[in-house]
Structure 1
Amino acid sequence: MSQPAPLNPLTLPLHGSRLIEASAGTGKTFTIALLYVRLVLGGQHSEDDSAFVRPLTPPEILVVTFTNAATQELRERIRHRLVEAAAVFRAIDDAGSDSLLIQLREQYEEATWPACARRLELAAEWMDEAAVSTIHSWCYRMLREHAFDSGSLFSLNLENDQRELEQEVVRDYWRTFYYPLDADALGSITRYWKSPDKLHEDVRKLLHESDALGSQRPAPADTLSAAEAERSATLGTLKAPWPAWLDELVPALEEAAKRKAFKGQSFNAKSRASWLGALREWCESDLERPALTPAAWKRLTPDGMAEIWKDGAPPCPAAWEALADMPAALNALPEPRNDLLIHAVQWCKLRMEREQERRAEMGPNDLLTHLDRALQGPNKDALAAQILRQFPVALIDEFQDTDPIQYRIFNAVYDVAPPRRDAAMLLIGDPKQAIYAFRGADIFTYLQARQDTAGRHVTLGTNFRSSRAMVEAVNHCFHYADQHPAGAFLFRQSGGENPLPFLSVAAKGRDEQLVHQGQPLPAMTLWPLTSEEPLSKTAYQTEMAERCASYMVELLAAAQSGNKQGQSGFQKGDELSPLKPSDMAVLVNGLLEARAIRLALASRGVKSVYLSDHDKVFSSPMAKL
C-alpha cells in the first residue's frame, strides 16, 4: 500500500476524495482553514488543476466535526483565517503576515487581488450561515430539507432525551413476552432482571447496536425452553458415570487410608466423607453444582492427588480427570441471558422506530440510520444528487472517530464515478486514534478509507505543539511497537503488509523546556520495578503511585526553592517559570489507578482532581455479549 506524501496545503487538489492524516499538534485546524480559503477563492484560471472549478460560498462548503464546542471553535478559526487572507490580498502590509498566505496570493495575478480580498471579506461576514456542524445536526437538516427524497416526514422533531419512550416500550415488551410465562420460567427471567426498569437499563445501552447483534433470537419462552433442555442434557451426561465411580472410590479410598497410601491431613476421613457425600448428593439430585469447597476442587484432581499419594496410584483415575474438567464444563452450561437480552433489544428497536414514526420524532442516533437508509433506498440517486448540489465540498474533521454508518453516508454522496472536478470530500484524521471504539471510532472504517483513497492520501508531517525531544521519544516508541511481533496482528490480516504503518513526524520544537536543578529533564523516563517476585495488581498500583507522587512532590518542592539553580520549572532563554501543580497531569488506566495516585498525593499534602468518570472499554455492554 502506498505511503502518504507530505501535504502542501497550497497545491493539494481540491476535488475527488482525499485523506489527510494528521497527528496531534501538526496543524490540522490550521490546514482546514487554509483549504477553506482556497475553496472560497476558486482557481485563477481553467488550467489550475489543483483548485476547485469555481469559487464557493460558506453555505456551500460542508465542514463536519463531532462536538458542538468543536464546531464553534472551527467556525471562528475559519473566520479569522478568512480575515487574515483578505488583509494579505489587500497588500496592506506583508510584515508579520503568514508566508503561506503570501504564497497563495502569488498564485493570482495582482490585478485580481482586490476582487479576491472582497470575496474573502464577504465569506468572513457570511460565516454565521456557514455549513459547519456536527454529523447529527447535518443529518437532521438533510432529513428535513429533503424529506421527499429521503422518505422522512416533512415535520420532524428531534428528541434528545428518549428515556421515557424507551421505558414505555420496554414495559410493553415485558407485558407481551414475560407475563404469559409460567412461574419457573418467570423465575429464570427475574434472576437477570427484577423489573422492567432493570431490563431497560441493559436494553437502552444496546439499542443503537442492534444491527451488530446478529439475527433475531427466538422468543423468550422458546429460548428458556431450549436452554433448559440443553442444560439438563449436559448435566445428565456429566452426572451419568458418577454413581459407579463413587461406588468404586469410597471403599478404595478407605482401604488406601488404612495402608497409609497418602499423606497429610487435607484428605482425612472427615474431608473424604464430606466431599464424596457432596458428589453423591449432586449426581442423585437436580443440583447443578456439587457443594465442594475450594480446597476440595483443588485436591480432587490428578495433580492434587499426586501431591499426597505415596504408595501406588490413586484409584479410579477417570473420576479425578472428570473433576479437573468439571468447573469449566459447569461454567459452559447454556446461559440464556444474552439471547434473551438480544431478543429484547431487537424487538424494542423495531417498536421504537414505529412509535417514533407515529410521533414524528427521532433521537440523535436515529438521524444517522435514517439518512443512511435513505441513501441506500430507491431514491438514493436523487437524494445524493440533491445533497451534492447543495454542498459540492465536504471537509470531515476528526475522521478517525467515524463509524461505518457515517462513512457510508458520505461515500454515498461524494464517492461518485467517474470522478468529478466539481465535487470533493476531504477526510482529516489521526490514524493512531482510530482504535478508540469507546468514543465511536472504528479502525476498520479508517483502514477502508485509507484503501479507498490509495494514491490520494497525504500527511501533515511537522508537530508544532511539543518539544523536539518529546516528538523524538514518541517516534521511537511507536517505531518499536511497529516492528515488534506482538503488535503485528494487522500485518497478518493483510497478508504480511502493515496497512497502517507508523509515520514519524518532525518537530518545529518549543523555545521552552522543563528543567530540574539546572538540568533539562528527558522527555520520557521509564521506571522499571526491581522486584524479582511478581507483584499483585494492588501492590503494583500502590508502588507506582507512591513513586509518581514522590517525584511530583520533589519537582514541586524544587520549584519553590530559593536557589535558582536548584529550582524546577519551564526555562525559556534566561527566564525560569516555576512549576505549578496545575502544570502536572497523570494519565491513568481507570478509576482504581486514579484513586491510588490521588491517595498518594493527598498523603503528601497535594490536592488533585479526577477529570474522567468513564468506565473501562471492557465494561461496556457490547463487551459482555
Structure 2
Amino acid sequence: MSARDDRERLLRLDAETRERAQREFDRPMLVEAGAGTGKTTVLVARIVAWSLGPGWERAVQRTEELGIGSEPHDVARRVLSRVVAITFTEAAAAEMELRTSRAFRQISAGDLPVGVIASALPEDEVRRQRAAALAEALAHLEVCTIHAFCRRILAAHPLEAGLHPAFQVDADGRAQQEAVREAIEQAIRSGYGEDGDPDLVALAIDGAGPAELEEALIELVAQGVGESDLDRDPFSPEALERFFDVLEAGIDAFADAGVERVRSVKRARKPLEILDALDRMRQRLASADVDAADGLSDWLVDFEDSWSGLRAHLMKWGKDDFGTNELDALGEEREALCAAARGWVLLLDHCLRIDPKCLERARRVLRPMLAQVHAELRRRGFCSYSGLLSKARALLMEDAEVRANWQSSIDQLLVDEFQDTDPDQCEIVAMLALEGPEDRRPGLFLVGDPKQSIYGWRRADLRAYENFVARAAPDARQRGRLSKNFRSLPLILDEVERVVNPVMRENPGVQP
C-alpha cells in the first residue's frame, strides 16, 4: 500500500469515527486522538448530538412517565444534568463548557458548528428550538475534573464515606503536613528514649530519621494509602509466589525471543554469561523455598551477585544496541529480545532496591503514625486530593445502593485524556459505566492517546489504561481513531513519523 493510499484509508476511518461519536450512544466507545486532531471538537459534538436527539427524547419520556414539568427549559435542564464530562484540568473543563455553549447558540441561530454532522441532528426547526433551551440551561451540564466529580460524590454521601459532613479539601497540603509532623513528633518523643521503639531506632541508624519518615508519610497520604493497607504483609507466601511468577515470566520472555541463538556468537562472553544467569535463575525459582523477609533478603543477595555485572549489557540489548555477530544470530528475533531485555532491566532494578528487613520495620513504624494522621485530618474535616479519589472509589465499591443511584443519575459519561488516568480513576469509571445491569449504566465515551501518557509521576498507569480498554471496548467496532490533523502540515507530520517510527516499539504497559 502506498503512502497516499494509507493516508486516504486513515482519513476514511477518521470520518467514520467522528460520525459514530455522534450516533452511537448505547455501548462504550474509545477514540484514540493524537495532538491536533480535534478531540475537544468531537467531545462537544457528541454532547450536542446526544442532547438535541436521543437525550432530549429520553428526557421527554421520563417527563411523561413522572408527570412533571414538560416545558422546553425543564426538559433541557434534565438532559444536561444527566451528562457528565470529565477532563484533566480545570482549564480544559472551562474550554469544553464554553465551546458547548457556543455550539448550542450557533445551532439556535440556524448555523452548524464545526465538527457537528447535520444528519445526526433532528430537523432544522426542532433542533433550533431545543438548542436555544439547552443554551440557557448550560449551567446544569457537569464538565469537571475527576477530583471535582469525586468531591461531588463524597459531598452527597459524607457519612457513608467516613467524612465530616462539611469536609473541605486540603488544597495546599498544609493541614496534611501539620498532622504528619504532629504524629512524628509524638512518636520520636517516646520512640527514641531509653525504652523506645527498636524499629524506629534501627531505621534512624540506617539513615531514615524524622525527615525521611515525614517524606514517607506525606507520600502515603498523597497516594491515598490507608492504615489498613499497611496491615497486608508484602512478604506473605501469596505475595512471594506472585513475585516469583513475575520473574519467571521475564525469563520466559527471553526464551520466547530466541535468546539461545546468541550461543552461536563467537567471543561473546557477556551474552553467554547472561544465558548462564538465566539458567541458574530458572533453577533457583523452581526450588525457591522463601517464606519470610529474612529468607528473601538472603535470596536477593544471591540475585544481585548473579546479575549486577550483566546490567550494562542488558541495557545495550534493551536499546537495540547489538553487535554485528549478535544481529546475524538473532535475525528477526531482535525486536523481541530487545523488549525482553528492557523488561528484565526494570525487574532487576526493582529487585536491587528491595530491602525486606527495612520495609518490615518501616511498615510497623509508619502504620500507627498513618492512622493518627488520617484520624486528625478527619477530626479537622479535611480530605486530601488523592483522598477524594480513594474515598470515592471505596464508597462506590462498598455501597451498592450509592453506586446504583449514581449510575442511574447519569445518561452519558465522557472522559477526556483517559491515557493519564490512574488505577483508582479507572476503577471509578468502571464501577459507574461497566458494572451492573446494562440498562442502568450510562453510555461511556473515552478519548485518549497512549502515546501522550506523560503523568506517571501522578500515578497515571498505561497498563491500567490498556486493561480498561480491553474490558470496555473488546469489539474493534467500539474503537476509533482520529488521524486528520488540524495543527500541522502533512509534510511536517510525515517527517516526524519518519524520525519517530524506528524507535517507537510497542512494549505493553510501557510504550504503545
Compute the TM-score of the two structures, normalised by the length of structure 2.
0.61
Structure 1: how far apart are the matches of 2:159 and 2:120? 46
Determine which of 447, 471, 477 is the counterpart of 2:466: 447
Question: In the superposition, relative to structure 1, how do residues 146 and 5 fare at CA in structure 2: closer, same or farther (>3 Å)?
Answer: farther
**Deviation per residue, 1:301-351 (Å, 9 max, x gap):** xxxxxxxxxxxxxxxxxxxxxxxxxxxxxx999685444444444443333
**1:463 aligns to what SS in structure 2?**
coil
Q: CA deviation at 1:186?
A: 6.6
Note the residue ranges of structure 1 that are not aligned, 5 or more in a row: 48-53, 89-93, 219-225, 235-330, 494-498, 502-625
Q: CA RMSD in A?
A: 3.9
Determine which of 420, 424, 433 is the counterpart of 1:414: 433
Match of 2:244 in 1: none
Structure-to-structure mapping, 1:113-262, within 5 angstroms: 113=125, 115-147=126-158, 150=161, 152-160=163-171, 161=173, 162-175=176-189, 177-179=191-193, 188-192=202-206, 196-209=210-223, 210=225, 215-216=232-233
Structure 2: how far apart are the matches of 1:126 and 1:45? 13
Determine if the alignment matches structure 1 residue 8 to structure 2 residue 17. yes
Match of 1:534 in 2: none
Question: In the superposition, relative to structure 1, how do residues 11 and 354 fare at CA in structure 2: closer, same or farther (>3 Å)?
Answer: same
Amino acid in the other structure paired with 2:128? A
Match of 1:223 in 2: none
Q: CA deviation at 1:188?
A: 4.3
Match of 1:250 in 2: none
Structure 1: how far apart are the matches of 2:511 and 2:215? 38
Rg larger in 1 or in 2? 1
Q: CA deviation at 1:357?
A: 3.0
**Deviation per residue, 1:128-155 (Å, 9 max, x gap):** 3431111111111111113465564433
Match of 1:475 in 2: 497
Give the stretch that moved more between structures: 4-13 or 436-445: 4-13
- Asked whether the equivalents of residues 157 and 361 of structure 1 are also in contact (C-alpha less than 8 Å), the reply is yes
Structure 2: how far apart are the matches of 1:442 and 1:175? 39
**Deviation per residue, 1:542-586 (Å, 9 max, x gap):** xxxxxxxxxxxxxxxxxxxxxxxxxxxxxxxxxxxxxxxxxxxxx
Q: CA deviation at 1:366?
A: 0.8
**Deviation per residue, 1:72-125 (Å, 9 max, x gap):** 22221222222223223xxxxx6xx54644x42574234xx2x42232223223
- Asked whether the equivalents of residues 203 and 362 of structure 2 are also in contact (C-alpha less than 8 Å), the reply is no
Match of 2:406 in 1: 387
**2:28 aligns to what SS in structure 1?**
strand
Match of 1:360 in 2: 381
Structure 2: how far apart are the matches of 1:104 and 1:500? 38
Give the stretch that moved more between structures: 76-85 or 174-183: 174-183
Note the residue ranges of structure 2 that are not aligned, 5 or more in a row: 1-9, 59-74, 236-292, 302-351
Question: In the superposition, relative to structure 1, how do residues 81 and 172 fare at CA in structure 2: closer, same or farther (>3 Å)?
Answer: farther
Structure-to-structure mapping, 1:190-339, within 5 angstroms: 190-192=204-206, 196-209=210-223, 210=225, 215-216=232-233, 336-339=357-360
Q: CA deviation at 1:187?
A: 6.0
Match of 1:460 in 2: 482
- Asked whether the equivalents of residues 53 and 121 of structure 2 are also in contact (C-alpha less than 8 Å), the reply is no
**Deviation per residue, 1:203-224 (Å, 9 max, x gap):** 3134344478893579xxxxxx
Structure 2: how far apart are the matches of 1:172 and 1:29? 51
Structure 2: how far apart are the matches of 1:30 and 1:332? 46
Question: In the superposition, relative to structure 1, how do residues 474 and 359 fare at CA in structure 2: closer, same or farther (>3 Å)?
Answer: same
**1:356 aligns to what SS in structure 2?**
helix
- Asked whether the equivalents of residues 107 and 127 of structure 2 are also in contact (C-alpha less than 8 Å), the reply is no
**1:25 aligns to what SS in structure 2?**
coil
Amino acid in the other structure paired with 1:35? R
Match of 2:396 in 1: 375
Question: In the superposition, relative to structure 1, how do residues 169 and 39 fare at CA in structure 2: closer, same or farther (>3 Å)?
Answer: farther
Match of 2:105 in 1: 83
- Asked whether the equivalents of residues 190 and 196 of structure 2 are also in contact (C-alpha less than 8 Å), the reply is no
- Asked whether the equivalents of residues 150 and 383 of structure 1 are also in contact (C-alpha less than 8 Å), the reply is no
Determine which of 93, 113, 124 is the counterpart of 1:71: 93
Structure 2: how far apart are the matches of 1:369 and 1:135? 12
Determine if the alignment matches structure 1 residue 404 to structure 2 residue 423. yes
Match of 1:40 in 2: 51
- Asked whether the equivalents of residues 216 and 346 of structure 1 are also in contact (C-alpha less than 8 Å), the reply is no
**2:37 aligns to what SS in structure 1?**
coil
Question: In the superposition, relative to structure 1, how do residues 186 and 440 fare at CA in structure 2: closer, same or farther (>3 Å)?
Answer: closer
Question: In the superposition, relative to structure 1, how do residues 98 and 46 fare at CA in structure 2: closer, same or farther (>3 Å)?
Answer: closer
Q: CA deviation at 1:396?
A: 0.9
Q: Which has the higher contact order (CA 8 A, sep 6+)?
A: 2
- Asked whether the equivalents of residues 37 and 487 of structure 2 are also in contact (C-alpha less than 8 Å), the reply is yes
**1:8 aligns to what SS in structure 2?**
helix
Question: In the superposition, relative to structure 1, how do residues 336 and 21 fare at CA in structure 2: closer, same or farther (>3 Å)?
Answer: same
Q: CA deviation at 1:175?
A: 3.9
**1:420 aligns to what SS in structure 2?**
helix
Q: CA deviation at 1:447?
A: 0.5
- Asked whether the equivalents of residues 26 and 462 of structure 1 are also in contact (C-alpha less than 8 Å), the reply is yes
Structure 2: how far apart are the matches of 1:42 and 1:500? 39
Question: In the superposition, relative to structure 1, how do residues 118 and 128 fare at CA in structure 2: closer, same or farther (>3 Å)?
Answer: same
Equivalenced residue count is 364
Question: In the superposition, relative to structure 1, how do residues 217 and 426 fare at CA in structure 2: closer, same or farther (>3 Å)?
Answer: closer
Q: CA deviation at 1:356?
A: 2.9
Amino acid in the other structure paired with 2:484? T
- Asked whether the equivalents of residues 408 and 441 of structure 2 are also in contact (C-alpha less than 8 Å), the reply is no
Structure 2: how far apart are the matches of 1:9 and 1:394? 17
Match of 2:42 in 1: 31
Give me the identity figure in percent: 23
Question: In the superposition, relative to structure 1, how do residues 178 and 83 fare at CA in structure 2: closer, same or farther (>3 Å)?
Answer: farther
Q: CA deviation at 1:414?
A: 1.2
Structure 2: how far apart are the matches of 1:176 and 1:15? 61
Question: In the superposition, relative to structure 1, how do residues 173 and 397 fare at CA in structure 2: closer, same or farther (>3 Å)?
Answer: farther
Q: CA deviation at 1:371?
A: 1.2
Amino acid in the other structure paired with 1:374? L
**1:376 aligns to what SS in structure 2?**
helix
Question: In the superposition, relative to structure 1, how do residues 184 and 170 fare at CA in structure 2: closer, same or farther (>3 Å)?
Answer: closer
Match of 1:109 in 2: 123
**Deviation per residue, 1:235-269 (Å, 9 max, x gap):** xxxxxxxxxxxxxxxxxxxxxxxxxxxxxxxxxxx
Question: In the superposition, relative to structure 1, how do residues 342 and 19 fare at CA in structure 2: closer, same or farther (>3 Å)?
Answer: farther
